[in-house]
Amino acid sequence: MEKLIITAAICGAEVTKELNPSVPYTVREIGIEAEKSFLAGARIIHLHVREDDGTPTQDLKRFQACVDEIKSRCPDVIILPSTGGAIGMSNEERIQPIFIDPQPEMATLDMGTMNFGGDDIFVNTENTIISFAKEMNSRGIKPELECFDKGMIDMTLRLHKKGYINKPMHFNFMMGVIGGIAATQRDLLYLINSIPKGSTYCVGAIGKHEFPMVTLSIELGGHARVGFEDNLYLSKGVLAKSNSELVEKVVRISKELGRDIASPSEARKILSLD
């Protein structure tokens, strides 16, 4: 079985310091959280950025400042910028992070529209997905295919046939999100059995579902995503003091299951980034 790649989603666009004071906002805070997560065993930092007051932004200068800070602390880490941004952002805003220097090795590509509860809708039309995929392909950026439901895998496969999504594919299954697939063993197996042979996949889940689903992914040969974007708690009622505590927990679980953690170079090889 391949060594495990851990992704740390360190701040997201929605979680706040009111929910957990350790959520990073500033450039320095984001750099510190990225470094601590990397040293704990994360090889990918899934990056949203915030203004100092916590407002989510896709501003290129802010992204560049955060990337520079992270790379100064842990130059070997893979930075995975979000092109999802936050609800209500325009496509022009959302795509900005792929223009950082040096250009990212990977970037997220959301594969469908989501109902996030209430009146919140995260819109990703087919044309939006194609436009983002073409921009990434033109720059040699590997998309992490964000799938919140089975239909998004179907969209991926359809766009692959049209030449917009290349193999080998790397999927991120986000489970337990309102409007998306449930965080259950049955549903994870359904997703895994729906992707092409030779693909890699990572699993993340919201709140209390995070560690059960990540553990199952580790057992099945997939990879793991944890972090404040998805879950603020180390265990029931215990707030994590850092993203690194969540990463450390995954490392312990993985080693108990007999699976080693990938080095940065091994992660790049597994993901076909080298």
Query: For residue range 13-36, what is the model confidence (pLDDT) as tens digits?
Result: 999 999 999 999 999 999 999 999
List the Cα angle 80/83/87 in 5-degree steps. 130
116-120, 200-204, 240-244: least confidently modelled range: 116-120
pLDDT over 80 (residue 258): yes
Give the pLDDT confidence score for residue 117 in this predicted structure: 84
1 located within any domain: no
Give the pLDDT confidence score for residue 208 in this predicted structure: 97
Domain that holds residue 261: 6-270
Encoded tokens for 266: 């091994």
Domain count, the chain: 1
Mean pLDDT of the chain: 97
Give the pLDDT confidence score for residue 70 in this predicted structure: 98
The CATH number of the domain holding residue 265 is 3.20.20.70
Task: Give the pLDDT band of residue 271 (cuts 50, 70, 90).
Answer: very high
For 77-91, the pLDDT digits (tens) are 999 999 999 999 999
106 located within any domain: yes
How does DSSP assign the chain, residue by residue? Answer: -PPBPEEEE-S-SS--TTT-TT---SHHHHHHHHHHHHHHT--EEEE-EE-TTS-EE--HHHHHHHHHHHHHH-TTSEEEE-S--STT--HHHHTGGGG-SSPPSEEEEE-S-EE-STT-EE---HHHHHHHHHHHHHHTPEEEEEESSHHHHHHHHHHHHTTSSPSSPEEEEEES-TTS---SHHHHHHHHTTSPTT-EEEEEE-GGGHHHHHHHHHHHT-EEEESTTT--EEETTEE-SSHHHHHHHHHHHHHHTT-PBPPHHHHHHHTT--
205 located within any domain: yes
Give the pLDDT confidence score for residue 206 in this predicted structure: 97
For 159-197, the pLDDT digits (tens) are 999 999 999 999 999 999 999 999 999 999 999 999 999
Give the pLDDT confidence score for residue 171 in this predicted structure: 98
Give the pLDDT confidence score for residue 202 in this predicted structure: 98
19 located within any domain: yes
Give the pLDDT confidence score for residue 274 in this predicted structure: 73
